[in-house]
Amino acid sequence: MVRESWGTRIGFIFAAVGSAVGLGNLWRFPWMTAENGGSAFLVVYLAIVLIVGVPGLLAEFVIGRRSKRNPAGALRRLAGGSDSWGLVGLLGVFTALVLLSFYSVVGGWILRYVGASATGAYFGNPGTYFGSVDFGVEAAAFHVGFLALTALVVAGGVRSGIEKATKVMTPVIVVLLVALAGWAVSQPGAGAGLSFYLDFDPSYLESHPVSVLQAAAGQALFTLSLGVGTMITYASYLGEDNSLAFDGSVIALLNTGVGFLAGLVVFPLLFALQGGLSETTAGGGPGALFVGVAGAFNQIPFGRVLAVAFFGVVLLAALSSSISMLEIPVAYLVDEHDVPRRAATLGLGGLVLVTGTICALNPGLFTTVSGPVVDTLLTAGLAGFLVFTGWVLGKDALAEYGTGSGALARSLGVPWLWSVRTVLPLFLVWTLALSFL
In the complex, the smallest distance separating the C-beta of residue 333 from ligand TRP, rounded to whole angstroms, is 18
CB 415 within 8 A of CB 390: no
Contact 416, 55 (CB under 8 A): yes
Does the footprint of ligand TRP cover residue 161 (CB under 6 A)? no
Give residues with Cβ within 8 angstroms of 179, minimum separation 6.
none
Q: Which is nearer to ligand TRP, 95 or 419 (CB)?
A: 95
Find out whether 257 and 280 touch, Cβ atoms under 8 Å. Answer: no
Kindly indicate which of the ranges 64-72, 165-173, 318-326, 429-437 contains the residues binding ligand TRP, using the contact rule CB under 6 A: 318-326
Q: Which stretch binds ligand TRP (CB under 6 A): 17-25, 268-276, 348-356, 405-413?
A: 17-25
Cα gap 174→228, rounded to integer Å: 25
228 touches ligand TRP (CB under 6 A) = yes
The number of C-alpha atoms within 13 Å of 229 and in the hemisphere containing its C-beta is 38
Q: Decide if 4 contacts 159 (C-beta within 8 A).
A: yes
222 is an interface residue for ligand TRP by CB under 6 A: yes
Q: Is 19 in the site for ligand TRP (CB under 6 A)?
A: yes
Please give the single-letter amino acid code of residue 418: W
User: How would DSSP label each residue in 62-117?
Assistant: HHHHHHTS-HHHHHHHHTTS-HHHHHHHHHHHHHHHHHHHHHHHHHHHHHHHHHHH
In the set 13, 16, 17, 23, which binds ligand TRP (CB under 6 A)? 23
Residue 24 interacts with ligand TRP (CB under 6 A)? yes
User: Is residue 225 close enough to count as binding ligand TRP by CB under 6 A?
Assistant: yes
Choosing from 104, 166, 242, 324, the residue that interacts with ligand TRP (CB under 6 A) is: 324
Q: Minimum CB separation from ligand TRP for residue 220, in Å?
A: 10
Q: How many helices (H) and strands (E) does the chain have?
A: 26, 0
Contact between 100 and ligand TRP by CB under 6 A: the answer reads: no
Residues between 370 and 399 with contacts to ligand TRP, criterion CB under 6 A: 378
Q: Does 230 bind ligand TRP (CB under 6 A)?
A: yes
First-to-last C-alpha distance (Å) of the chain? 49
| Residue 20 binding ligand TRP, by CB under 6 A | yes
Question: CA 377 to CA 98: how far, in whole Å?
Answer: 10
For ligand TRP, which stretch binds (CB under 6 A), given 14-22, 46-54, 70-78, 299-307? 14-22
Q: What angle do CA 409, 415, 416 make, to 5 degrees?
A: 65
CB nearer ligand TRP, residue 177 or residue 409: 177
The one among 105, 325, 326, 369 contacting ligand TRP by CB under 6 A: 325
User: By CB under 6 A, is residue 321 in contact with ligand TRP?
Assistant: yes
Judged by the rule CB under 6 A, the positions of this chain that interact with ligand TRP are: 19-20, 22-25, 99, 222-223, 225, 227-228, 230, 321, 324-325, 378
